[in-house]
Chain A
Amino acid sequence: MKWPLLLWRHRASYLFLLPTFLFLAVFNYVPALSGLAHAFTEWETGGTAHWIGLGNFRQMAGDEFLRLSIVNQLLLLIANLVKTLVFPLIAAEMLFHLRSKRLQYALRTALLIPMVVPGMVGVLLWGFIYDPNIGLLNRLLTAVGLSSLTRAWLGDWHTALPAVIGVGFPWISGLALLIYLAGLIAMPQEVLDSSAVDGASGLQRIWSVDLPLIRGQMRLLAALTIIGTLQDFGSLLVLTGGGPGLATHVPALHMYYEAFRFGHYGYASAIGFVLFLTILAFTVTNMRFGRSTVERG
């Protein structure tokens, strides 16, 4: 049957689908493609865009503030990868090995409930915890006789970035926990039995059996973390605004400032373009080299 006839026959279904794709195109694809195109233009607030070729990218090469922010970004990326790949895995392994299914269920629920709290609320709460004058952390340190350790966690150049990394402690993300648990539950029972027969200790089993079998989940989480970290600037904007100085400044925040504070939309688009390419490169590398031997066959 010819496709126009098929299209006509199923027109009601296509009509129902049309708004979804229309909105997806208008609000997702068109702005993204427009951003890519505007990366090669000079486009300021209220003005029209003028083609300047690679001018924005040359400007990026000489942008001292952007260069300094890249170092922060790399440190944040490494820290976030560790936070996402290690801590939820530890929690998932502990839950998985609980004998009491009822306790396992209760603890799993307890670990997942914080997911209902909007992320920005969590960030704001951590802002209060770090407050140098009325914050919980400094009060706690003072209460246990460690007042010499109190400081302006987000205002001190030495501690601002580590404090940002500390947000969300103990870093057991609900999503990562669920993904790991699903991977562990899906492991074939015969493999687990074989490792038990071979006399593998708990750690040996995790290292030699669990990790190779959940590498797919780890790769997915790594990809999501890379994308999330490179794109995220909201929490930094709320907590520190990138300061003090440039202590917590990152390229995505720089892009935001250039666009919505300084009105340099063309230059901001160029930063967005480079961020897109970076995320793509990281993700492809992760997918290519993170593939497990089991998956490769």
Chain B
Amino acid sequence: MRTRRQPSRPIRRRSRTVLWLLLMGWALLAGGDRDLRAQTPPDSKAHIVLSTVSANYREGLLQLAREYEQKHPDVSVTIQVQPVNGYETVLRTQIESHAAGAPDIYNVNYTNGYYERGLLVNLTPFLKERNPSTGKPWRDNLDAQFLEKYKSGGDVATIPFDFIEVAFFYNRRLFDRLGLQPPRTWEEMLATAEKIRQAGMIPFAVPGDTDSYWSGTVGWIFRFFTDAYLRDTVPQVMSQPGDWDYDRRKNGSFHLNVGDAYNDATVVVNAERLLAAVRDHKIRMESPRFREAYTKIFAFAQYWQPGFNGTSANSAYQLFLTQKAAMMINASPTIATLTRDMDDLYPRDRFDWGLFPVPPMTQSAFHIPPFRGVGGAGVVFGVVKKSDAQTRRVVDFLMFLTSPHAAQTLVAEATKARQPINGPLLIPGAALPEAIARRFSAFEHRGFEKLSFRGLADEQESVWKWTVWAQRYLDGRISVDECLAHYQQVMDEAAPRVAREMNYDMDPRTKDPPKP
């Protein structure tokens, strides 16, 4: 025993020494960190942190931050441009834990339900206050309709800055060569597509992977179709007198007018009434309206490139850019991307292109109004609830940020940096450069979807199951009736599941607390 222990002593001693050194190093590092923080001189300036995923506005935001700091020497502004991937997790971690570095302003569309949970500032009282940057009430420099659209329980907690919309992009050079004009109706568009096909080209480049059915092109198509076919359903599901969310100003005077694209823009739909309508088959997938809508989409899909279900968004875009496809549906930020990519092509490969809005359908067994927009606000800012003094400070900065001057700075800097502009601005008085404004006209004045279906709302299980059947249907593997029967089953299963997940008691008169 003795002989075995003797040689191991130095080794053990060395091990012990290493262990102690590690522990001491760790302690020194930890302590050192505390010391450094303590030695940092207290900053007399107040801090505002803006966190955003809008990297396209990075340069403009930095410039505006510097400008604001010059006007307010007692304030420092930090702009954090975050990657989309993981943004929500970072926000939820920082804001819910009231972390010291939590942002004051951020893209609030990444944290649904935060206002209801008391984490965001109610901005309604500030709207009538004078905006020091314009000298007018703040409300005057904001888009009234979008403020209404994004209200939470009657309060304004989000300030939309711009909006994203979709439209058709077309190859003008090819249209001219074939003697074609941008179509004015859906039927004209399909006739145009037929001529393009006969000329040996792909009429439409459409991505059809699962992402596209959920949040991309195919999803948009199903949404603007079902919105148009369900316009007359809005009165059945909107809040009624006695409902917890009934707003007499919005719903009391509502009369359905499908000829007006904005007719139901501010109408409040009661989520429990909507869910009940699905559950009780008042909104039925196996209805003649859905059947016609799906049949029309199938007919449209016959002009998409072969194998669209295996095509990613980038691949579809490349089809258009390389002039293999004559048209594509895409969102407004694509204008800048396409302009930039066109400049990067060899001169012989460049082509003139144009835009036209989704054209209205004229042939239907039903009275179908023109298709409406399926986009939404691009940049939507909200203010995190902190101290009253900080709220006052941050709102002042947000007022500055939503002034026409600031909006134009953001656009100018983005253009200079060859970054895309999301879409039309929602800051009255802020003008876009003429060339950009002309491009955006195809995206404007079309109204916004109210009731649209691909799955049940955004509930992921129903969206995915719907995607499975919709892909099979558009692939020609099942009939429209089989597809809708499966979809009906998906909805029948989803309605009680959504009610359970949202903690709805299915009584529209009571406001249900979030699930504990």
A positions within 8 Å CB-CB of B:
10, 12-13, 15-16, 44-47, 65, 130-134, 151-157, 160, 240-246, 257, 261-264
CB <8 Å contact, B310 and A155: yes
Say yes or no: B310 contacts A257, CB within 8 Å: no
B339 at the interface (CB under 8 A from A): no
* Nearest CB in chain A: distance from B101 CB, A: 25
Distance, CA A99 to CA B308, complexed state (A): 51
Q: Does B185 count as interface, using CB distance less than 8 angstroms?
A: no
- Contact among A65, A133, A242 for B210, CB-based, below 8 A: A242
Q: List 8 A-B contacts (CB under 8 A).
A: A132-B305, A133-B311, A154-B310, A155-B308, A155-B309, A155-B310, A243-B209, A243-B309
| 7 tightest Cβ-Cβ pairs between the two chains A and B | A155-B310, A152-B307, A241-B210, A152-B310, A155-B309, A12-B15, A244-B309
Taking CB atoms, residues of chain A closer than 8 Å to B322 are: 134
B15 with A155: CB separation less than 8 A: no
Which residue of the partner chain B has the closest CB to A15?
Answer: B19
CB-CB under 8 A from A243, the residues of chain B are: 209-210, 309, 467-468, 471
Contacts of A47 in B (CB 8 A): 515
Known pairs A155-B309, A263-B501 / 7 extra A-B pairs, C-beta < 8 Å: A45-B501, A133-B305, A155-B208, A242-B210, A245-B477, A262-B460, A263-B460
Contacts of B472 in A (CB 8 A): 157, 244-245
Using Cβ atoms and an 8 Å threshold, which residues of chain A touch B306? 132, 151-152
Residues of B within 8 A of A44 (CB): 501
**In chain B, what residue has the closest Cβ to A163?**
B310
Check B461 against A262 for contact (C-beta < 8 Å).
yes
The answer on a CB contact under 8 Å between A132 and B315 is yes
CB neighbours of B311 from chain A (8 A):
131-133, 152, 155
* B475 touches which of A45, A132, A154, A245 (Cβ 8 Å): A245
Instruction: Give every chain A residue within 8 A of B312 (Cβ-Cβ).
Output: 131
User: Chain B, 180-207, contact with A by CB distance < 8 Å: what is the 0/1 string?
Assistant: 0000000000000000000000000000
Smallest CB separation, B233 vs chain A (Å): 27
Chain B nearest Cβ from A124, distance in angstroms = 11
Chain B interface category by residue count: 35 or more
The distance in angstroms between the C-alpha atoms of A151 and B309, with both chains bound, is 11
Q: Is B12 an interface residue (CB 8 A)?
A: yes
* In contact, B16 and A12 (Cβ under 8 angstroms): yes
> CA of A249 to CA of B475 in the docked complex: distance in angstroms?
17
In the complex, what distance in Å separates the CA atom of A155 from the CA atom of B311? 7
Cβ contact of B310, chosen from A12, A45, A65, A244, cutoff 8 A: A244
Known interface pairs A16-B19, A245-B471, A261-B464; A132-B307 also in contact (CB < 8 Å): yes
Residue from A12, A133, A151 within 8 A of B324 (CB atoms): A133
User: Which residues of chain B are within 8 angstroms of A151 by Cβ–Cβ distance?
Assistant: 306-307
Within 8 A of A (CB), among B416-449: none
- Is B393 part of the contact surface with A, judged by Cβ < 8 Å? no
Query: B465 in the interface, Cβ–Cβ < 8 Å?
Result: yes
Partner of A241 from the list B19, B211, B318 (CB cut-off 8 Å) is B211
Minimum CB–CB distance from A137 to chain B (whole Å) comes to 12
Q: Which residues of chain A are within 8 angstroms of B211 by Cβ–Cβ distance? A: 241
Instruction: Tell me if A134 and B318 are in contact (CB < 8 A).
Output: yes
Residues of A near B310 (CB, < 8 A) are 130, 132, 152-156, 160, 240, 244
Q: Chain B nearest CB: distance from A227 CB in Å?
A: 27
Q: Are B468 and A65 in contact (CB under 8 A)?
A: yes
- In the bound complex, do residue A12 and residue B305 qualify as a contact, i.e. CB atoms below 8 Å apart? no
A106 to B309, CA, bound (A): 43
- Which chain B residues have a beta carbon within 8 Å of chain A's beta carbons? 12, 15-16, 19, 208-211, 305-312, 315-316, 318-319, 322, 324, 460-461, 464-465, 467-469, 471-472, 475, 477, 501, 515
Chain A contacts for B471, CB-based, 8 A: 243-245
Indicate if the CB atoms of B210 and A12 lie closer than 8 Å: no
Complex: A170 Cα to B318 Cα, angstroms: 29
User: Nearest chain B CB to A241's CB is how many angstroms away?
Assistant: 4
- What residues of A have a CB within 8 angstroms of the CB of B16 in the complex? 12
Query: Which A residues are CB-close (under 8 A) to B15?
Result: 12-13, 16
Interchain CA distance A40-B211 in the complex, whole Å: 32
Complex CA–CA separation, A52 to B217 (angstroms): 40
A199 to B19, CA, bound (A): 64
Distance in angstroms from A225 CB to nearest chain B CB is 27
Docked pose: A113 CA to B272 CA in angstroms: 59
Instruction: Give complex CA distance A133, B209 in Å.
Output: 14
- Shortest beta-carbon distance from B478 to chain A in Å: 9
- From known contacts A131-B315, A133-B319, A151-B306, infer whether A244 and B475 are also in contact, taking CB-CB under 8 Å: yes
Give the residues in chain B near A262, CB-CB below 8 Å. Answer: 460-461, 464
Contacts of B208 in A (CB 8 A): 155, 244
Q: Which residues of B contact A242 (CB under 8 A)?
A: 210
- What separation, in Å, do the CA atoms of A134 and B305 have in the docked complex? 12
With the chains together, A45 CA to B306 CA distance in Å? 39
Name the distance in Å between B312's Cβ and chain A's nearest Cβ. 8
A257 to B465, CA, bound (A): 11
Bound: A45/B460 CA distance, A: 12
Name B477's contact: one of A152, A154, A155, A157 (CB within 8 Å).
Answer: A157
The interface residues of chain A lying within 8 Å CB-to-CB of B19 are 12, 15-16
The minimal Cβ–Cβ distance linking B15 to chain A, given in whole angstroms, is: 4
A5 to B114, CA, bound (A): 57
Q: In the complex, what's the smallest C-beta–C-beta distance from B416 to chain A, in angstroms?
A: 31
Q: Give Cα A10 to B4, complex, Å.
A: 13
Q: Which residue of B lies closest to A153 (CB)?
A: B310
CB-defined contacts of A46 to chain B, threshold 8 Å: 515
- Please indicate which of the listed interface residues A12, A44, A154, A263 has the most CB atoms of chain B within 10 Å of its own CB: A12
Q: How far is the CA of A246 from the CA of B467 in the complex (A)?
A: 10
CA distance A46 to B305 in the complex (A): 42
Q: Do residues B460 and A261 form an inter-chain contact, with CB atoms below 8 A?
A: yes
B296 to chain A, nearest CB (A): 21
- In this complex, the member of B19, B211, B315, B316 whose beta carbon has the largest number of chain A beta carbons within 10 angstroms is B315
With contact pairs A12-B15, A131-B315 given, residues A152 and B309 touching in the complex (Cβ less than 8 Å): yes
Query: A132 to B307, alpha carbons, bound, how many Å?
Result: 7
* Residues A152 and B468 in contact in the complex (CB < 8 Å), given A46-B515, A47-B515, A157-B475: no
User: In the assembled complex, how far is the CB of residue A166 from the closest CB belonging to chain B, in whole angstroms?
Assistant: 14
A244 to B316, CA, bound (A): 17
Known: A152-B307, A152-B309, A152-B311. A12 touches B318 (CB 8 A): no
B114 CB, nearest partner CB in chain A, Å? 14
Question: Which residues in A have their C-beta under 8 angstroms from that of B460?
Answer: 261-263
Closest Cβ of chain A to B367, distance in Å, is 34
Bound-complex Cα distance A189 to B19 (A): 50
- The distance from the CB of A13 to the nearest CB of chain B, in whole angstroms, is 7
Return chain B residues, CB-CB under 8 Å to A240: 209-210, 310
| B501: A residues at CB distance < 8 A | 44-45, 263
* Residues in chain A near residue B319, CB distance under 8 A: 133-134
Give min CB distance, A19 to chain B, whole Å: 11
